[in-house]
Amino acid sequence: MVQIFYSKDNKVQTTQSLDILKQITVKDALWLDLFDPEGDEKRAVEVFLGTNLQSRAQAEEIESSSRYSETDHAIFINTDFLIPGPEDYSLESVSFILVDDTFVSIRQVALRSFTDIQRRMMANPRLYPGGHSILVGILENRIDLDADMIELTSKEIAQYSRRVSMGENVENEFLLDINQLQENTMTVRENIIDKQRMISNLLKSSKTPKSVNGKLNILLKDVNSLINHTDFSFERLEYLQNTVLGLINLDQTRIMRIFTLVSLLLMPPTLIASIYGMNIKLPLAGGNWDMLITGGVMVLSVVISIIIFRRRKMM
């Protein structure tokens, strides 16, 4: 599907019919949004713009250092948009093309940022007079959504930290949840750094109108603050993970200490029982009270061991 936004009679109009491309020029076209386009739709747009469009596979194979490129009359940008899931985040490749001041987007899934900008564009077209301003609007909306995801992650980290502070039992699942939060934080950070690189390249480009440079500079500052926030969140997760591992080690040490103390307390009675279990003539053996006397000696040895351990603060 191709959603075409174009200017006619000083008004923004939209249509999904490709026939309009034969009636308008590139300067009239504001935004061509290709949502999971078919082959004939892509070819029609290529003929209209006079440039080639990248396929999904080509966009995904491009290295991060080469995801922004320019030609004599066009700017090509490839980036990823975060899709939040029940547990983890997935990345969806999106391609942007700027031919003069005509904006082209190629995507395979529905994205909230695009829907919001399309609605705002039709409601107040003066805010989006050209392709560059539309791209900046999408980036503004996307960065706001990324900030919401970072804030949500921070709240989840605070909840896990509160559970640890309240002495809640921590198990393997707890550590796995923390590890998943670390993966999500790293994914968000990498995605934000990709946007930082994109905005920096747009600011350095001679094709970028000066009218959008102010907003791009503000976006760059917002992105830098988000990167700092993700770094802080990752440090909190590392600290929380180390705390949980420390608590687990303390529990294991406490259990081992109990087993060790029990073993040491039972050593004197075991030694006495072993001696009287030998087939030799021993004192106090053979009498009517030998069982009670031997048991009393065993109990006395345990009591003496407990007193010694307590004096040495081993219990």
Instruction: Tell me: do 69 and 195 sit in the same domain.
Output: yes
Average pLDDT value for the chain: 81
* CATH code, domain carrying 114: 3.30.460.20
* Model confidence at 130: pLDDT above 80: yes
User: Which domain covers residue 264, as residue numbers?
Assistant: 252-311
- pLDDT value of position 95: 87
Instruction: Tell me: do 137 and 199 sit in the same domain.
Output: yes
- 3-class secondary structure for the chain? CEEEEEEECCEEEEECCHHHHHCCCCCCEEEEEEECCCHHHHHHHHHHHCCCCCCHHHHHHCCHHHCEEECCCEEEEEEEEEEECCCCEEEEEEEEEEECCEEEEEECCCCHHHHHHHHHHHHCHHHCCCHHHHHHHHHHHHHHHHHHHHHHHHHHHHHHHHHHHCCCCCCHHHHHHHHHHHHHHHHHHHHHHHHHHHHHHHHHCCCCCHHHHHHHHHHHHHHHHHHHHHHHHHHHHHHHHHHHHHHHHHHHHHHHHHHHHHHHHHHHHHHHHHHHCCCCCCCCCCCCCHHHHHHHHHHHHHHHHHHHHHHCCCC
- pLDDT value of position 165: 75
With 0-12 / 13-18 / 19 or more C-beta atoms within 10 angstroms meaning exposed / middle / buried, residue 160 is: buried
Task: Say which range, 110-119, 189-198, 282-291, 300-309, has the weakest mean pLDDT.
Answer: 282-291
pLDDT per position as a tens digit, 111-120: 888 888 888 8
Pairwise CA distance, residues 89 & 95, whole Å: 19
- pLDDT value of position 278: 67
Instruction: Tell me: do 267 and 185 sit in the same domain.
Output: no
**Of the candidates 229, 248, 267, which is a domain's last residue?**
248
Q: What is the mean pLDDT of residues 153-181?
A: 79
* Model confidence at 61: pLDDT above 70: no
Task: Say which range, 43-52, 230-239, 282-291, has the weakest mean pLDDT.
Answer: 282-291
Pairwise CA distance, residues 46 & 38, whole Å: 12
- pLDDT value of position 56: 59
| Residue 100: both structure tokens together | 């003069």
Instruction: Tell me: do 222 and 294 sit in the same domain.
Output: no
pLDDT per position as a tens digit, 176-220: 888 888 888 888 888 888 888 888 988 888 888 888 888 889 999
Q: What is the mean pLDDT of residues 301-307?
A: 80
Instruction: Tell me: do 198 and 287 sit in the same domain.
Output: no
pLDDT per position as a tens digit, 246-270: 777 777 788 887 888 788 778 888 8
Instruction: Tell me: do 231 and 281 sit in the same domain.
Output: no
Residue scoring higher pLDDT (227 or 264)? 227
- pLDDT value of position 217: 92
In total, how many domains does the chain have? 2
- pLDDT value of position 158: 85
Instruction: Tell me: do 186 and 306 sit in the same domain.
Output: no
Residue scoring higher pLDDT (85 or 150)? 150
Please give the torsion angle defined by the CA atoms of residues 88, 92, 98 and 103, in that order, rounded to the nearest 10 degrees.
-90
CB 17 within 8 A of CB 3: no
Instruction: Tell me: do 191 and 211 sit in the same domain.
Output: yes
Instruction: Tell me: do 171 and 23 sit in the same domain.
Output: yes
* CATH code, domain carrying 275: 1.20.58
Closest CA to 103 of 83, 75, 123, 82: 75
Q: In degrees, to the nearest 5, what angle opens at C-alpha 194 toward C-alphas 192 and 200?
A: 100
**Of the candidates 213, 233, 248, which is a domain's last residue?**
248
CB 14 within 8 A of CB 86: no
* Model confidence at 91: pLDDT above 60: yes
With 0-12 / 13-18 / 19 or more C-beta atoms within 10 angstroms meaning exposed / middle / buried, residue 207 is: middle
Instruction: Tell me: do 77 and 9 sit in the same domain.
Output: yes
Q: How many CA atoms does the CB half-sphere of 10 hold within 13 Å?
A: 0
| Residue 216: both structure tokens together | 């791009």
pLDDT per position as a tens digit, 1-60: 888 888 877 788 888 888 888 888 888 888 888 888 888 888 888 888 887 776 655 555
- pLDDT value of position 279: 63
Q: What is the mean pLDDT of residues 132-142?
A: 89
Residue scoring higher pLDDT (122 or 287)? 122
Instruction: Tell me: do 265 and 166 sit in the same domain.
Output: no
Pairwise CA distance, residues 70 & 52, whole Å: 13
**Of the candidates 248, 270, 286, which is a domain's last residue?**
248
Q: What is the pTM of this model?
A: 0.74
* Model confidence at 62: pLDDT above 60: no
- pLDDT value of position 280: 60
Query: What is the amino acid identity at position 176?
Result: L
Instruction: Tell me: do 237 and 274 sit in the same domain.
Output: no
Share of the chain above pLDDT 90, in %: 1
- pLDDT value of position 54: 67
